[in-house]
Amino acid sequence: MLTGELYSPLQDLGLFNQVQLDPEISTLVWPNGADFDPATLHDWVRLE
């Protein structure tokens, strides 16, 4: 899941640890603009 221009930088633990919860859309967001759709997070185990 952590591939591509937007998500591969999240493999850096320093950036990954900057995660925040966006209260407006109720999902995880990072300073580089990466985020996950809440449905993706819910179904994460099935996507692996």
DSSP H or E stretch at residue 22: strand 20-22
Q: pLDDT value at position 39?
A: 84
Distance from the Cα of residue 29 to its chain's centroid:
6
* pTM across the whole model: 0.76
pLDDT of residue 6: 94
- What is the tally of structural domains in the chain? 1
Q: What is the number of residues in the chain?
A: 48
Question: pLDDT tens per residue, the chain (48 residues)?
Answer: 789 999 999 999 999 999 999 999 888 999 999 998 888 877 877 755
The residue range of the domain holding 40 is 4-47
3-state secondary structure of 28: strand
